[in-house]
């Protein structure tokens, strides 16, 4: 059963409980326990190779953990039957690192494929849904463009439109700013904030980009690649000022950021 905060009465949207991550006999992370609250922008951070993207894959059902479970509200994901998992995944949208768009399909067709798979809507309505989602991310009029015909930042926004195709209340982003220039990256951060505020979505974000972490993160965990577990948790800006762990401080002060 998912955690309920006694002080606030708010039920956790997502809870990761006693989770171990392994590749064969090699431990990647162990004893992971944390909760993501409704409308959080929750950052999974840590050095390269610490298992951030692997944790995301466990949370969205791509790979089962070596031990432990992920709960969506009251429902255990990994002990649920196929139908139960499908009901959970129907609430989830995912933006992968490179957008993961089908290059042979137009933007509208990429979005429509998701809607077609999970609904019985007619083609004309699916096209309308695709146009609406593209408009939400600032790509109105680009329905018939192919991924190769637009910029990297636009492909990320198109990937976000596809992640939103089924009106999910939980969005997972894997390195959304990877490969983007600082201005485009900031625009994407602003878009994530706007969508969270307008749609009431909960966001789980894997990133190493400090600008994004401090601009939009409301809560976070830090995965340590040496002790192989969480060594810090909380609001990233608060961790910057208050966390004494040298690994966390080095990570959060890269590039001379000191919070001043």
pLDDT along the chain (260 residues), means of 10: 42 86 94 96 95 95 96 93 90 80 94 90 96 92 96 89 90 86 87 87 93 95 97 97 95 63
Tell me what pLDDT residue 257 has. 46
* DSSP secondary structure letter of residue 45: E
Report how far residue 247's alpha carbon sits from residue 9's, in angstroms, rounded to the nearest whole number: 34
pLDDT for residue 3: 43
Half-sphere exposure of 259 (CA within 13 A, CB side): 13
pTM exceeding the 0.75 threshold for the entire prediction:
yes
Q: What is the pLDDT of residue 2?
A: 40
The C-alpha angle 33, 9, 223, rounded to 5 degrees, equals 20
- Residue 178 has a pLDDT of 79
What is the per-residue pLDDT for 12? 53
**CA–CA separation, 149 vs 152, rounded Å?**
10
- At residue 9, the pLDDT reads 45
d(CA 171, CA 135): 18
Q: Would you say 108 and 115 are in contact if contact means Cβ atoms under 8 Å apart?
A: no
Q: Is 228 helix (H, G, I), strand (E, B) or coil?
A: coil
In the beta sheet, which residues pair with residue 58? none
Q: What is the pLDDT of residue 6?
A: 39
How far apart, in whole angstroms, are the C-alpha atoms of residue 180 and residue 186?
9
Q: Map tokens 């162990």 to a residue.
A: 30
Structure token digits, residue 29: 């992370």
Question: For the chain, what are the domain ranges?
Answer: 23-28+39-65+82-91+168-260, 99-167
* Architecture in CATH of 23-28+39-65+82-91+168-260: 3-Layer(aba) Sandwich (3.40)
Q: Please tell me the predicted confidence (pLDDT) of residue 258.
A: 42
């Amino acid at each position: 059963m998912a955690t309920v905060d006694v002080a606030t009465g708010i039920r956790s949207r997502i809870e990761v409980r006693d989770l171990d991550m392994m590749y064969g006999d090699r431990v990647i992370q162990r004893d992971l326990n944390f909760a993501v609250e409704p409308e959080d922008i929750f950052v999974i951070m840590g050095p390269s190779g610490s298992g951030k993207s692997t944790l995301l894959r466990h949370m969205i059902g791509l790979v089962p953990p070596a031990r432990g479970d992920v709960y969506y509200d009251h429902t255990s994901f990994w002990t649920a039957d196929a139908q139960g998992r499908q009901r959970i995944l129907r609430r989830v949208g995912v933006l992968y690192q490179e957008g993961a768009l089908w290059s042979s399909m137009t933007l509208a067709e990429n979005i429509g494929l998701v809607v077609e798979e999970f609904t019985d809507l007619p083609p004309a309505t699916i096209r309308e849904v695709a146009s609406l989602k593209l408009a939400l991310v600032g790509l109105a009029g680009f329905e018939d463009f192919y991924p190769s015909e637009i910029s990297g930042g636009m492909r990320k926004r198109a990937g976000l439109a596809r992640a939103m195709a089924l009106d999910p209340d939980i969005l997972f982003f894997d390195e959304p700013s990877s490969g983007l220039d600082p201005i485009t990256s900031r625009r994407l951060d602003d878009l994530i904030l706007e969508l969270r505020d307008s749609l009431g979505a909960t966001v789980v974000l894997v990133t190493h980009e400090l600008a994004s972490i401090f601009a939009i993160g409301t809560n976070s965990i830090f995965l340590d690649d040496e002790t192989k577990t969480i060594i810090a948790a909380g609001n990233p800006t608060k961790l910057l000022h208050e966390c004494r762990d040298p690994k966390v401080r080095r990570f959060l002060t890269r590039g001379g950021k000191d919070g001043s």
